[in-house]
């Protein structure tokens, strides 16, 4: 395992396990060497919850959650809730759990499990901490109790997720995260990989559940926090991202849920995703698309993109630095880059001098904005352009994209695509899979009428 890993967080470990009794300091040091800077150790009963709190006091890298596992649900008395409440108020306790339902082992009657689950959700709401949910073959009852007990008020995570996509989406809709352990790497677990591929990375966490569930390269061994990298690498492969992307995204997700770590949220002008460098040069736009994530959050793949002011050419050049490690540089960001046409041309010319491929992501309304055909001005400076079409007719386009130019914006986008073919080597029209968009009708317009490449972009997966 390469120890030059981007910083990762193991959000679910059981460091109080007897299997770590003889070498826990070495296990934590190995995790640090592997780039795992923080570990959340989880209580499963009162004794392990107390042990987790003590471990958090002992090791700067360790945080704690306190709770009662469904196997031990008989322990979840009113008196036990008082003890958990006291523990929850200790330093570095960031969640209530592990709690939930387990109908696979059935170590405890279902009604007792459900009562313990409800009591702990109520406790979490009282103390204002998120919850960590165990769900094994109890999907519908878990969802019902989460809803009835208003768990959305505190949020949380479905740890070691084992449900289907519908289950994952229902949890995400309640504000919960989905956590993947080493089982994501098991050859027979394609169903879980399908879920991971389908949901947005904005709702994903990484865990080991150690000492259990070692990832495929370590099957048969004791699992430990250092091995979370294997799951991160598999998730990166599934999502078509880099390990650095997954590390950055999941660090931010962990911080947002548990307050663990300090992700860099300084506003970015230049931000890497995969093997490309993206340029965030304006937050202004001539559209107000109903699906645009910036109306909820100015973050893309863990990068903060809300600009305090628009950068100058020199500031962009400094932010870019060396481009040798990038396949292309893309004008994109949370705004319409061609609103700053002169700046785009100057920076693109500078980038071309360095031999790097240049792409622009645009809403295709620049000719309306500037009241002239600007595409000849991009010839020789821009290698590729991707234009958001997003509808098969003007009325739908205006309903979805809310152009400053009304329904005239749609025909202008199509004209822009036709003209772009004359001046730019690679031209693509994209469509977001927003419910209600007729993707196949859009494909027909793009391929048969406009004669450019067609790209489907997944709704709610920005970047």
Report the C-alpha gap between 203 and 67 in whole angstroms: 23
Tell the residue number behind the tokens 């170590």, with chain if given.
Answer: 107
| CA-derived radius of gyration, the chain | 25
pLDDT of residue 209: 98
Give the CA distances from residue 393 to residues 292, 408, 438, in Å, rounded to whole numbers and listed in that order: 20, 11, 10
In terms of Cβ atoms closer than 10 Å to its own Cβ (0-12, 13-18, 19+), residue 302 is buried
Q: Does CATH number 3.30.540.10 belong to domain 270-457? A: no
Q: 3-state class of 124 per DSSP?
A: helix
In 10 A of CB 376, how many CB atoms? 11
Q: Which residues of 91-107 are buried (b: 16+ CB within 10 A; e: fewer)?
A: ebbbbbbbbbbbeeeee
Two tokens at 238?
Answer: 């599934």
Q: Which residues of 326-341 are buried (b: 16+ CB within 10 A; e: fewer)?
A: bebbbbbbbbbbbbbe
pLDDT of residue 459: 82
Stretch(es) of the chain classified as CATH 3.20.20.140: 8-258
Report the C-alpha gap between 245 and 5 in whole angstroms: 11
Q: Which one, of 377, 347, 245, lies nearest residue 301 by Cα? A: 245
Two tokens at 394?
Answer: 């003007």
Report the C-alpha gap between 335 and 362 in whole angstroms: 9
Q: Which residues pair with 41 in a beta bridge?
A: 13, 64
Is there a contact between 229 and 34 (Cβ–Cβ < 8 Å)? yes
What is the total residue count of the chain? 463
Q: Which residues contact 458 (CB under 8 A, 6 or more apart)?
A: 432, 433
Q: What is the CATH T-level fold of the domain 8-258, as seen in this structure? A: TIM Barrel (3.20.20)
Is there a contact between 331 and 281 (Cβ–Cβ < 8 Å)? yes
Q: Which one, of 206, 174, 13, lies nearest residue 98 by Cα? A: 13
Question: What is the number of alpha carbons within 13 Å of residue 201 lying toward its C-beta?
Answer: 28
In terms of Cβ atoms closer than 10 Å to its own Cβ (0-12, 13-18, 19+), residue 325 is exposed
Stretch(es) of the chain classified as CATH 3.20.20.70: 270-457
Tell the residue number behind the tokens 């305090």, with chain if given.
Answer: 308
Report the C-alpha gap between 246 and 463 in whole angstroms: 12
Report the C-alpha gap between 303 and 321 in whole angstroms: 17
pLDDT of residue 333: 85
Report the C-alpha gap between 35 and 430 in whole angstroms: 37
In terms of Cβ atoms closer than 10 Å to its own Cβ (0-12, 13-18, 19+), residue 65 is buried
In terms of Cβ atoms closer than 10 Å to its own Cβ (0-12, 13-18, 19+), residue 255 is middle
Q: 3-state class of 382 per DSSP?
A: coil
Q: Which one, of 414, 337, 341, lies nearest residue 371 by Cα? A: 341
pLDDT of residue 4: 62
Kindly tell me the sign of the dihedral angle through the C-alpha atoms of 52, 57, 59, 60: positive
Q: Which of the residues in the chain have pLDDT under 70?
A: 1-5
Pairing of β 276-279 and β 270-273: antiparallel
């Amino acid at each position: 395992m390469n120890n030059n890993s981007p910083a990762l967080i193991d959000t679910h470990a059981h460091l109080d396990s007897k299997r770590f009794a003889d070498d826990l300091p070495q296990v934590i040091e190995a995790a640090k060497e592997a780039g795992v800077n923080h570990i959340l150790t989880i209580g499963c009963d009162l004794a392990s919850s107390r042990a987790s709190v003590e471990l958090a006091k002992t090791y700067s890298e360790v945080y704690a959650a306190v709770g009662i596992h469904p196997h031990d649900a008989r322990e979840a008395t009113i008196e036990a809730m008082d003890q958990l409440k006291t523990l929850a108020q200790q330093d570095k306790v960031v969640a209530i759990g592990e709690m939930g339902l387990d109908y696979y082992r059935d170590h405890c009657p279902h009604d007792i499990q459900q009562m313990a689950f409800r009591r702990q959700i109520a406790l979490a709401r009282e103390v204002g901490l998120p919850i960590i949910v165990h769900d094994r073959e109890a999907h519908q009852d878990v969802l019902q109790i989460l809803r009835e007990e208003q768990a959305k008020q505190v949020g949380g995570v479905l740890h070691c997720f084992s449900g289907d996509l519908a289950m994952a989406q229902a949890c995400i809709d309640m504000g919960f995260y989905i956590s993947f352990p080493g089982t994501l790497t098991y050859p027979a677990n394609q169903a879980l990989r399908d879920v991971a591929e389908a949901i947005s990375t904005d709702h994903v966490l990484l865990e080991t559940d150690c000492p259990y569930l070692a990832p495929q390269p370590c099957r048969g061994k004791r699992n430990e926090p250092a091995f979370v990298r294997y799951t991160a690498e598999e998730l990166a492969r599934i999502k078509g991202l880099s390990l650095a992307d997954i590390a950055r995204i999941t660090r931010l997700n962990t911080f947002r849920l548990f307050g663990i770590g300090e992700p860099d949220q300084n506003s970015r002008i230049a931000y890497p995703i995969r093997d490309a460098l993206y340029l965030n040069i304006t937050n202004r736009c001539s559209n107000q698309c109903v699906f645009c994530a910036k109306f909820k959050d100015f973050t893309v793949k863990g990068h903060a993109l809300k600009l305090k002011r628009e950068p100058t050419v020199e500031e962009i050049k400094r932010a870019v630095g060396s481009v040798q490690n990038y396949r292309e540089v893309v004008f994109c960001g949370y705004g319409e880059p061609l609103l700053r046409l002169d700046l785009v041309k100057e920076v693109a010319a500078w980038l071309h001098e360095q031999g790097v491929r240049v792409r622009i992501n645009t809403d295709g309304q620049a000719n309306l904005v500037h009241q002239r055909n600007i595409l000849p001005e991009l010839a020789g400076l821009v290698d590729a352009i991707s234009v958001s079409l997003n509808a098969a007719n003007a009325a739908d386009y205006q309903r979805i994209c809310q152009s400053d130019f009304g329904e005239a914006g749609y025909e202008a986008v199509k004209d822009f695509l036709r003209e772009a073919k004359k001046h730019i080597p690679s031209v693509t029209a994209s469509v977001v899979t927003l419910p209600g968009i007729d993707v196949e009708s859009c494909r027909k317009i793009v391929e048969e009428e406009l004669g450019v490449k067609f790209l489907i972009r997944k709704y709610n997966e920005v970047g």
